[in-house]
């Protein structure tokens, strides 16, 4: 089949890898002019995820790139330690930079898939013989199937799903991150500083000791801003964090020069059905929860199951899409519901902050938290598609 995938981060290249191997004619379109760089790290927790990465043939490459994770040291304004979470807490079993993951998946898929950067779907028209797609570049093309793997703000979802079938919930917090020169000499533990409803943090960059990466979280009702306007987002951050102590003024000082800024609502996407007829959603586009819900692992497993069911159904994509959703929906909803990233990172009250720090300082409770995150991956019942038409195997 001729298949279009929108988005080249995690879900897109993962599904392109499987579909290319199965002999489909795959094009991946990515709006960014090249693979996106973005500095944050993502982790995999649980055997289900590493099993899929292994079957994809990328686990070795990723292990070679793993960061090892950083412990998180929560400090007060003077830098005194309040609580420390071990590297395992932040980094799971395997932690890599999202950009490295994306590059490895791209490298392993590009021999069997065409990547087109700097373009985006402008319009979709689905009919009984295929999906007619117009691109921003002016190209027009017909595909048998379209896969929306273009993240929380998916253009495929916006164009192909009626608004009343999509719930985008704002979970009361925003998250932001940008690169700063490492003038603070950060190495080892990532430093975390809270005031009620806000977190400012900074961690060293393992590749380049001269650089560091911030992660800021703040509680706020939904804000109106232009997602493409970095200056507006920088102004919001200055407004939210201006006047705070610790290293905040220094970290904000690097903001005007930042060319890459990650800024988003901590939210959750729920779609009534993951597919229309010939169009299907994958990863954050269909079931995202900005962070704290194993989104990377879920995107990789989703790609595996989607491609596996397509092979198993031998071209009957309607059956394949229904089985893909039936296999994953419950597990994904449970992990999404478990996501409390904002209130965990930046409890809204002084009491909440003290309680979090005290509880997690007790090894028993810390162990329980780690177990909980691990157990979520066990909700996914991983099918084995090897031998499906003899296709889904690593050469």
Ligand X SMILES: Cc1cc2nc3c(=O)[nH]c(=O)nc-3n(C[C@H](O)[C@H](O)[C@H](O)COP(=O)(O)OP(=O)(O)OC[C@H]3O[C@@H](n4cnc5c(N)ncnc54)[C@H](O)[C@@H]3O)c2cc1C
Interaction with ligand X in 157-176: which residues (CB under 6 A)? 175
- Decide if 269 contacts 287 (C-beta within 8 A): yes
Interaction with ligand X in 176-205: which residues (CB under 6 A)? 177
Q: How far is the CB of 23 from ligand X (least distance, A)?
A: 23
Is 19 an interacting residue with respect to ligand X (CB under 6 A)?
no
Shorter beta-carbon distance to ligand X: residue 283 or 308: 283
Judged by CB under 6 A, which of 16, 42, 133, 301 binds ligand X?
42
Judged by CB under 6 A, which of 3, 4, 5, 9 binds ligand X?
9
Stretch 110-129: interaction string toward ligand X, x if CB under 6 A: ----------x---------
**Burial class of residue 285 in the structure, from the number of CB atoms within 10 Å of its CB (0-12 exposed, 13-18 middle, 19+ buried):** buried
Q: How far is the CB of 392 from ligand X (least distance, A)?
A: 20
Interaction with ligand X in 304-333: which residues (CB under 6 A)? none
- In eight-state DSSP terms, residue 386 is T
What one-character-per-residue DSSP string does 177-209 give? EEEEE-TT---SSEEEEEETTEEEEEEE-SS-T
- In eight-state DSSP terms, residue 45 is -
Q: How far is the CB of 282 from ligand X (least distance, A)?
A: 7
Is 98 an interacting residue with respect to ligand X (CB under 6 A)?
yes
Judged by CB under 6 A, which of 204, 295, 308, 347 binds ligand X?
295
3-state secondary structure of 119: coil
φ/ψ (deg, to 5) at 230 = -65, -35
Judged by CB under 6 A, which of 104, 299, 310, 380 binds ligand X?
299
Structure-token pair, residue 346: 């930046």
Is 283 an interacting residue with respect to ligand X (CB under 6 A)?
yes
Structure-token pair, residue 32: 């960014």
Is 149 an interacting residue with respect to ligand X (CB under 6 A)?
yes
φ/ψ (deg, to 5) at 373 = -60, -40
Beginning with the edge strand found earlier in the chain, give each strand of the sheet holding 190-195 in spatial order.
Answer: 81-85, 72-75, 190-195, 198-204, 211-219, 166-181, 261-271
What percent of the residues of the chain are helix, what percent strand, and what percent coil, each to the nearest 5? 40, 25, 35
Shorter beta-carbon distance to ligand X: residue 229 or 316: 229
- Which segments within 144-260 are labelled E, that is strand? 145-148, 166-181, 190-195, 198-204, 211-219
**Burial class of residue 203 in the structure, from the number of CB atoms within 10 Å of its CB (0-12 exposed, 13-18 middle, 19+ buried):** buried
Strands 113-117 and 25-30, bridge-based pairing: parallel
Is 373 an interacting residue with respect to ligand X (CB under 6 A)?
no
Output the residue with the shortest Cβ distance to ligand X.
295
Shorter beta-carbon distance to ligand X: residue 177 or 391: 177
Structure-token pair, residue 65: 């790139």
Determine the interface stretch with ligand X among 26-34, 54-62, 109-117, 187-195 (rule: CB under 6 A).
26-34
Is 87 an interacting residue with respect to ligand X (CB under 6 A)?
no
Shorter beta-carbon distance to ligand X: residue 340 or 350: 340
Shorter beta-carbon distance to ligand X: residue 215 or 346: 215
Task: Please report, as ranges, the residues that interact with ligand X according to CB under 6 A.
Answer: 6-12, 29-32, 36, 40, 42-43, 98, 120, 149-151, 155, 175, 177, 215, 283-285, 288, 290-291, 294-297, 299
């Amino acid at each position: 089949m001729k298949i279009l995938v929108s988005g080249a981060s995690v879900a897109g290249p993962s599904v392109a890898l499987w579909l290319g191997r199965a002999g489909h004619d795959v094009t991946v379109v990515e709006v960014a002019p090249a693979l996106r760089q973005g500095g944050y790290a993502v982790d995999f927790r649980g055997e289900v995820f590493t099993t899929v990465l292994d079957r994809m043939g990328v686990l070795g490459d990723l292990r070679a790139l793993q960061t090892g994770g950083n412990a998180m040291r929560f400090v007060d304004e003077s830098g005194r330690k309040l609580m420390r979470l071990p590297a395992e807490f932040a980094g799971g079993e395997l932690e890599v930079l999202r950009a490295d993951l994306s590059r490895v998946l791209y490298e392993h898929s590009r021999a069997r898939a065409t990547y087109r950067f700097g373009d985006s779907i402008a319009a979709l028209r689905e009919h009984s013989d295929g999906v007619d797609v117009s691109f921003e570049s002016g190209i027009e093309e017909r595909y048998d199937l379209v896969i929306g793997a273009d993240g929380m703000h998916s253009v495929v979802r916006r164009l192909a799903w009626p608004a009343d079938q999509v719930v985008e919930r704002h979970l009361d917090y925003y998250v932001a991150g940008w690169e700063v020169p490492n003038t603070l000499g950060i190495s080892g533990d990532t430093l975390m500083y809270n005031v009620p409803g806000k977190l400012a943090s900074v961690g060293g960059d393992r590749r380049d000791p001269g650089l560091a990466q911030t992660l800021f979280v703040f509680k706020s009702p939904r804000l109106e801003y232009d997602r493409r306007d970095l200056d507006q987002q920088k102004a919001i951050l200055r407004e939210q964090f201006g006047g705070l102590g610790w290293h905040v003024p220094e970290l904000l000082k690097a903001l005007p020069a930042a060319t890459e800024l990650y800024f988003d609502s901590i939210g959750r996407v729920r779609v009534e059905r993951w597919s229309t007829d010939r169009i299907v959603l994958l990863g954050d586009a269909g079931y995202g929860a900005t962070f704290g819900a194993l989104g990377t692992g879920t995107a990789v497993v989703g790609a595996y199951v989607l491609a596996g069911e397509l092979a198993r159904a031998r071209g009957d994509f309607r059956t394949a899409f229904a089985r893909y959703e039936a296999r994953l929906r419950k597990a994904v909803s449970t992990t999404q519901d478990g996501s409390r990233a904002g209130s965990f990172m930046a409890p809204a009250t002084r009491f909440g902050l003290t309680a979090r720090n005290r509880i997690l300082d007790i090894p028993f409770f810390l162990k329980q938290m780690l177990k909980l995150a691990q157990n979520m991956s066990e909700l996914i019942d991983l099918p084995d598609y090897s031998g499906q038409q003899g296709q889904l195997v690593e050469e």
